[in-house]
Amino acid sequence: MAVWKCKACGETKEGRCRPGKCAKCDAPKESFEKVEETTAK
């Protein structure tokens, strides 16, 4: 899974795909950037 970070407010979200919008600041999905890839076992 990936960790996505909102460039507007810094909120992070874990998931396979980019979130639809930020739950904290309501920024659009384009505001998210992938910051790391996690390897779950």
- SS3 of the chain: the string is CEEEEECCCCCEEEECCCCCECCCCCCEHHHEEEEEECCCC
Residue that wins the pLDDT comparison between 41 and 39 = 39
Interior CA angle at 36 toward 32 and 30, to 5°? Answer: 10
Whole-angstrom CA distances from 41 to 1, 8, 16, 38 are 11, 31, 15, 10
Class of domain 2-37: mainly beta
- What pLDDT score does 41 carry? 56
> How does pLDDT run across 10-38, given as a tens digit for each residue?
999 999 999 999 999 999 999 999 998 87
Q: CA 17 to CA 12: how far, in whole Å?
A: 13
pLDDT of 40 > 80? The answer is no
For the entire predicted model, the pTM comes to 0.83
Residue spans of the domains in the chain: they are: 2-37
